[in-house]
Structure 1
């Protein structure tokens, strides 16, 4: 009888639930599409040198896999300074040399490291970093995206990074988009040291925003991770008992430590220029011969900041 009563109450609550009126929900959804907006590729082609910034080699982590693949990661010290400093110390201490990418989970992440519990940390690593999941909005020059966001009061870009932010609380954070790089951690209060990292290889897992230290993004070579066979173990870990082999890492270095003649160099589009504004407008209002109907809106993760090799590379 108790079970029947509980089921009846559940059915009654389901029947009496009222969804928000569709008209009210859609009224503030997005502005009308802009017809004739320039295609993003046209904006990039017409950009000038002033529309781009060099990627600082001190903020560039180069991961070379044993099979010849290379992953270039731009680090974000303005958002996670202690974790980024740790990552530099890990790279300079040879932490990832000879380790593996041991987890590739479909539509989620590829993760690498060597297990923090069994290996002494390199000199200079902070064992218990603060929870660098957000930072003060003050001091950031922000370009609002101009469209609603499902995970933040406002979304936009700052310093070349996609961010969510809350003007009321005065806080801002990096968003988890495709190719974002975060710090693997245990349950709170553990924040992870930065010795175990992951890169997003699937749909943007924005639910991780404000829960994990987001420390950067893959700017070159994301396919080196995303095209790998998926692990069949729990959460995509490679199951060695089934013969699955983790992906060996030859070495990881900070680009500033690589001889200049061998050092890869990149530049990212600045997000505080009219060119970037035109790029976002074009991304939100695709036209040309293929798109029949312009969307008139865009998600912050679909407005990825363009990155390219510097001239001569």
Structure 2
């Protein structure tokens, strides 16, 4: 019996290592981004960052919001105006004057009487949509089984990646130089209203806004605004200082009492600040294999918490990863 027992133990010892092996855990989208090599991250130019300092909160803590302006060729008429407004320090002393629940936080001159700097452009409505002069797409596979994850756009400029899912507002979803866009034909594109995106307030058409009145999305993505209002940037840091503000009780969330408004101390292009005070950020390249895997993971959550992969994702549920960089 003792001999048979020893044989059984020996046999079990041969089996245990194989049965003890567990499949490698499937990484979450955040883990994929965190594991991306340094070469997959792209530095944001300080000249493309707006730094908005609000008055300190009730406990005296500073409130800084950093906005990245959109790259050319999109919305450049409005962005040119925004750069002029920032250079003129026009927003200093204005305020956040509207906070509408599940919609937007808006800032500018609540009196609408502050003179604007000279030389601001009047931007036509046609600039809500930009010609990309695309001619077609080419699939790129990055998985071991050759499964296509995104579509590389081979149109007017390198850098387009078209995702393979259709949403309710467009027939194509795209990423370009770290930004989300939409299209119906692949030859024109427009930026989309996702959480944290910054747009230009305007009056009734044909007015398109100068860029002096801005807002950021603080709720569910209002995609119905796409192609109806200019999108000029996105909040990459400090959105909580806007999204957590008390909701306005007036129509559309405007503050009825001037005392409710949150004062803006200053808005500057980062390059106007001392070097040590300039924020530094980088984004995960939307042309990288790491981003392709990230998109796939956002569309098909297979990490341990999830039971049933959705098989798709709204483009606003595929935020491009952004991270701060320590200033050396």
**Same fold at TM > 0.5:** yes
Instruction: Specify the SS of the correspondent of 2:166.
Output: coil
* Other-structure match for 1:178: 195
Q: How does 1:285-304 map to 2 (within 5 A)?
A: 285-304=300-319
Q: Structure 1 residue 95: deviation in Å?
A: 1.0
2:42 counterpart residue number: 53
Counterpart check, 1:247 vs 2:262: yes
1:136-155 equivalences in 2 (<5 Å): 136-138=131-133, 139-140=156-157, 141-155=159-173
Instruction: Report the 3-state secondary structure (helix = DSSP H, G, I; strand = E; otherwise coil) of the residue aligned with 1:44.
Output: helix
1:38 Cα deviation from its structure 2 partner: 3.2
Pairing of 1:1-313 with structure 2 (within 5 A): 38-67=27-56, 68-78=62-72, 79-114=74-109, 117-126=112-121, 128-131=122-125, 132-138=127-133, 139-140=156-157, 141-167=159-185, 170-240=187-257, 245-312=260-327
Aligned to 1:23: none
8 Å Cα contact 1:37-1:285 kept in structure 2: no
1: CA distance, partners of 2:286 / 2:229:
24
- The alignment's TM-score, normalised by the length of structure 2, stands at 0.80
Question: CA-atom RMSD, angstroms?
Answer: 1.6
CA distance in 2, matches of 1:111, 1:297: 32
Q: Distance in 2 between matches of 1:156 and 1:300?
A: 8
Q: Take 2:196 and 2:179, find their aligned partners in 1: how far apart are those partners? A: 12
Take 2:193 and 2:111, find their aligned partners in 1: how far apart are those partners?
A: 24
1:41, distance to aligned residue in structure 2 (A)? 1.9
Q: Please, what TM-score do these two structures have when normalized by structure 1?
A: 0.84
Number of paired residues?
Answer: 274
* 1:37–1:172 distance in 2 versus 1, CA, 3 Å: farther
Question: 1:177, 1:116 → 2: CA distance?
Answer: 28
* Number of the residue aligned with 2:16: none
1:312 is displaced (CA, Å) by 4.2
- Report Cα offsets for 1:56-80 as digits up to 9, x if no partner: 1111111000112111000014211
Aligned partner of residue 267 in structure 1, secondary structure:
strand
Long gaps (5+) in structure 1: 1-35
* Structure 2: unaligned runs, 5 residues or longer: 1-24, 57-61, 134-155
Once the two structures are TM-superposed, the CA of residue 177 in structure 1 deviates from its matched residue by 0.2
- Asked if structure 2 preserves the Cα contact closer than 8 Å seen for 1:99 and 1:113, the reply is yes
